[in-house]
Amino acid sequence: MKKILTILLITLAVSSCKVDREPYGSMRSKEISANPEESIDGLLNGTYAQLKAWSDPMHRLGEYAGDNIVIRGSSTDAFYEFISFARTPNNGRLTTFWDSSYKAIAQASNIINMIPLGKNATLDSKIGECYYIRGMMYFYLVRAYGRPYYQNPETNLGVPIVNGTPEDLKNATFPDRSTVKATYEQAIADLKKAEELITVNRGPIFASKAAAQAMLSRVYLYMSGTYENPNQAFAQLAVDYANKVISSPQYSLLPREQFMKYNTYTPENNKETIFAIKRVASEFSGFDHYYGVGGMYSNIGGMGWGEMYSSAKYLALLDETGRNDWRPNKYKIVDARAAFIEPTYSKNSSGATTEVFRFIKDDVNNTSNYVQLNTTRNGGNITCAEGTNVFTLTPIDATQEIYSITYKDGKTYTGVIDNFITLNRVYPQFYIVKCSREGEDSQLHSPLISRLGEVYLNRAEAYAKLQNYTSALNDLNTIRNRSIVNGGYTSLNATNAGERIDKERQLELAYQAERSFDVFRNGKALTRAYPGPQSQTASIAATDFRVVYYIPQSAINAYAGKLTQNPTQ
Per the DSSP assignment, residues forming a β-bridge with 431 are: 342
> How confident is the model at residue 179, as a pLDDT?
98
Cα angle value 159/185/29 (rounded, 5°) = 75
- Can you give the pLDDT at residue 329? 95
Q: What pLDDT does residue 28 have?
A: 58
Length of the chain: 569
Nearest to 50 by CA among 94, 95, 11, 105: 105
Predicted local confidence at residue 32, as pLDDT: 67
The Cα 443–Cα 438 span in angstroms is 7
| Amino acid type, 539 | S
pLDDT given for residue 24 in this prediction: 33
Q: What is the pLDDT of residue 173?
A: 87
Decide if pLDDT at 523 tops 70.
yes
Q: What is the average pLDDT score of the chain? A: 92
pLDDT for the residue 137? 98
Give residue limits of the domains in the chain: 34-285+429-568, 286-428
Q: Tens digits of per-residue pLDDT, 319-362? A: 999 999 999 999 999 999 999 999 999 999 999 999 999 999 99
**What's the CA gap between 83 and 81, in Å, rounded?**
5
- pLDDT-derived band of residue 27, with 50, 70 and 90 as boundaries? low
- At residue 208, the 3 state secondary structure works out as coil
The pLDDT assigned to 565 comes to 97
Model pTM score: 0.94
Q: What is the pLDDT of residue 164?
A: 82
Residue 30 — very low, low, confident or very high, per pLDDT cuts 50/70/90?
low
| 462-470 mean pLDDT | 98
The answer on pLDDT for 56 being more than 90 is yes
- pLDDT at 39 (0 to 100): 84
Helices 452-465 and 209-222: angle between axes, nearest 10 degrees? 40
**Which pLDDT value is given to residue 22?**
34
Query: Helices 92-114 and 121-145 meet at what angle, rounded to 10?
Result: 150
Question: Which whole number is the average pLDDT over 364-379?
Answer: 96
Q: Which of 19-28, 63-72, 411-420, 542-551 has the lowest mean pLDDT?
A: 19-28
SS3 110: helix
Tell me: the pLDDT tens digits for 254-282?
999 999 999 999 999 999 999 999 999 88
User: What is the structure's pLDDT at 450?
Assistant: 98
pLDDT-above-70 percentage for the chain: 93
CA–CA distance, 31 with 40 (Å, rounded to integer): 11
- 102-147 residue pLDDT tens: 999 999 999 999 999 999 999 999 999 999 999 999 999 999 999 9
Classify 484 as helix, strand or coil.
Answer: strand
What pLDDT, on the 0 to 100 scale, is given for residue 104?
Answer: 96
**CA dihedral of residues 472, 478, 484, 490 (deg, nearest 10):** 40
- Indicate whether 4 pLDDT > 70: no
- Per residue in 529-549, pLDDT (tens digit) is 999 999 999 999 999 999 999
Spelled out in words, what is the top-level CATH class assigned to the domain 34-285+429-568? mainly alpha
- Is the pLDDT at 240 greater than 80, yes or no? yes
Worst-scoring range by mean pLDDT, 35-49, 368-382, 406-420?
35-49
The DSSP annotation for 239-307 comes to: HHHHHHHHT-TT--PPPHHHHTTGGGS-GGG-TTEEEE----GGG--GGGGGGSGGGGT--BTTBS---
How does strand 402-406 pair with strand 539-540? Answer: unpaired
Closest alpha carbon to 98 in 175, 1, 32: 1
